Amino acid sequence: MQIVKTELLEALRLALEHLMPGAGEKAAFESPKVAAHGDLATTAAMQLARPLQQNPRLLAQNLRTALLASPAFQRWVEALDIAGPGFINIKLKPAAKQQVLREVLAQTTAYGTQGSHGRRMLVEFVSANPTGPLHVGHGRQAALGDALCNLFATQGWQVWREFYYNDAGVQIATLASSTQLRVQGFKPGDDCWPTDPDNPLSKNFYNGEYIADIAADFLAQKTVQSDDRRFTASGDANDLDGIRQFAVAYLRHEQDLDLAAFAVKFDNYYLESSLYTSGKVEATVKRLIEAGKTYVQDGALWLKSTDYGDDKDRVMRKQDGSYTYFVPDVAYHISKWERGFQKVINIQGTDHHGTIARVRAGLQAANVGIAPGFPDYVLHTMVRVVRGGAEVKISKRAGSYVTLRDLIEWTSTDAVRFFLLSRKPDTEYTFDVDLAVAKNNDNPVYYVQYAHARICSVLAAWGGDASRLVNVDLAPLESPQALALMLLLAKYPAMLSAAAEGFAPHDVTFYLRELAACYHSYYDAERILVDDEPVKLARLALVAATAQVLHNGLAVLGVSAPQKM
C-alpha cells in the first residue's frame, strides 16, 4: 500500500499547494483514533484555517472537492468524510488495501525497510566488566541493543555494535585477588578470606563458584580464548598478574558463550585501558584546559560543566592525580565521533543517569565539533525473575544473582529476547519463567510464533508454488476481517520508522501481538483452502504476506519464526 499512500499524499500536497503556496509541506496522513471513521485522516484544513483566515470546516469542504477530482483519489478512495471542526477522514477501496499484499510478496524480507543513506551509527551495549557471568540486566541490555541495531538497519543506517569494558582498576584487582585465594586452596568463609565491610577491596571479593572454576583451570595451565584475547595460564599461585590476565580472558570467553547463546555478536571490543595507553585521556584533558573550561580548586582539576546545564561542576582529576571515571568516558566518546559515527546510542542501566549531563558537558567543552545532545542514551531498569510464584535471586553459578545463561536454560533464547523487549526499557519488569515456557495464548512469544507456524502449515497443505501468489486476483478479499488484516500489514513500515525514532523496540512486540491476533481472527472467520480456486489463491496470498511480515518483525527482535510448533 506504499504506492497507494505515495499517490494519495502527492495529490494532497498539490491540493494544499493550490490553496496556499508552501502549504504542500503540511501534507500528511494519520490513522483515525476510531477505526470506523476511516483508514486515513488529515488535519491539513485545520492547520491552514488561521493563515488563510477561513473557517476550517469550510476549508475542509473545498479541500475535499479538490481531492475527489484528483485521479489518485478517484482510483483508490471510496469515501471522503468531514468530521468535527475540519477533520477529513478517508475510507480506502478494497483494491487499495489489497496492494499491500503485492508489495509484501514481491519484497519479502525487504518489506518495511529503507535503502541505505550512507550514514554510520554506533550502538554501545552490554559493556560488562569481565568480573563475572552476565546477569539478567545484561540480558535486557543485550536484547535492547541488538534490536535497536536491527531497527536502525531497516531505516538505512550502517550500524556498528560495540562492547566497551574496563580491563583494569579496582574491580579487576579484586577479581585477581579473589582468584588467587582460590588457587591457593582457600574459599569464602576461611579465616583469610577478606570480610572487612569498611575495606572497599575486601567487601567486594567475588564468592561465586565460577571463581573456583577459574582457579582450577589456571592450576591446570589451560589456554582460554575470547573474541578479543587469548591467554595461557602459568599455574603459579604467586603469579598474580598472570592470574589477573587469565581470569579476564576466562570470563570474557564465558561472556562470549552467553552472547553466542543469545545470538548477539559485536563488531568491536573497546578497552578502557586503551584510552590511557593511546594518550586519548591526556589529550582530552589538554583540550579542556586549553579551551578554558577547567579550573583548579583544593588541589583538584574541575570541569565547568554547569556552563552546559549540569547541576554542579565536576572533578576531573583528583588531588592524588588520578582521573574520575567520567574523564575516560569523554575521551571514549570523542573517539566515537572521530571514527565517523554521526549517531551514537548508549544502552545503560538507570544508575548511569547522573553521567549523561557531565559526559555531554565534557564533549561540548572539548570543542571538537560534536553537536549538542550527543550521544543518545537508552536507560533500562533491572529485571526481577519469578519462578514457581516466587522471586529467584541467587544463581549457583554466580553466587548472588540470576545469570543470563540461567534464564536461557530455563526457557529459550526466543522467549528471553521477546519478553525482555516487551516493555519500555525504563519500566520495571518481572520475568515470569513459568509463563515463558507455557504453550498457550497467554505466552506472547508462543502466540506470535504459533501464528507464523499455523500459516506455514496451511501453505504446506496447499503445496503450491508460493511465487504464483504475487500476481493472483485479490478481488475476493473484501470481508471485514481480510480488510482489517491488510490494513494492519500496511502499517508495518511506518511502525518500524516510529520505533527506531523513539528507541522503542517494544513497539515491534506490540505490533506483532496485534498482527497475530488479527490473523487468528481472520483464520477463525474464513476457510482458506476452499474449492473455489480464485478465492483460495487470494486468501493464500493474504496469509502468505502475513507470515512474511511476522517473520520480518521477529527478525528485528532477533527471534526465530518457526514453521512447525
Co-location of 293 and 253 in the same domain: no
- Residue 364: CA count within 13 A, CB half-sphere: 19
Q: What percent of the chain has pLDDT over 90?
A: 84
Interval 424-455: pLDDT, tens: 999 999 999 999 999 999 999 999 999 999 99
**Model confidence at 163: pLDDT above 90:** yes
214 lies in a domain?
yes
**Model confidence at 196: pLDDT above 70:** no
Co-location of 75 and 6 in the same domain: yes
Domain range for 214 is 170-261
213 lies in a domain?
yes
At residue 466, the pLDDT reads 87
Co-location of 455 and 546 in the same domain: yes
Co-location of 370 and 460 in the same domain: no
Domain count, the chain: 4
Interval 11-66: pLDDT, tens: 999 999 999 999 999 899 998 888 888 999 999 999 999 999 999 999 999 999 99
Co-location of 288 and 374 in the same domain: yes
Interval 455-464: pLDDT, tens: 999 999 999 9
430 lies in a domain?
no
Co-location of 485 and 521 in the same domain: yes
283 lies in a domain?
yes
147 lies in a domain?
no
19 lies in a domain?
yes
At residue 202, the pLDDT reads 46
Helix H or strand E segment including 391: strand 390-392
Interval 293-343: pLDDT, tens: 999 999 999 999 999 989 999 999 999 999 998 899 999 999 999 999 999
Co-location of 245 and 284 in the same domain: no
- Which band of pLDDT confidence, cut at 50, 70 and 90, is reported for residue 401? confident
- Which band of pLDDT confidence, cut at 50, 70 and 90, is reported for residue 192? confident
How many other C-beta atoms can be found within 10 angstroms of the C-beta atom of residue 433?
20
| Last residue of one domain, picked from the residues 196, 230, 261 | 261
500 lies in a domain?
yes
| Total residues found in the chain within this entry | 565
- Which cell is 405 given? 545463561
Distance CA 98, CA 101 (A): 6
| Last residue of one domain, picked from the residues 58, 92, 126 | 92
| Last residue of one domain, picked from the residues 231, 261, 291 | 261
**Model confidence at 104: pLDDT above 80:** yes
Co-location of 248 and 353 in the same domain: no
Interval 479-511: pLDDT, tens: 999 999 999 999 999 999 999 999 999 999 999
Interval 279-289: pLDDT, tens: 999 999 999 99
375 lies in a domain?
yes
How do strand 230-232 and strand 223-225 relate by DSSP bridges? antiparallel
How many other C-beta atoms can be found within 10 angstroms of the C-beta atom of residue 461?
9
Give me the CATH number covering residue 17: 3.30.1360.70
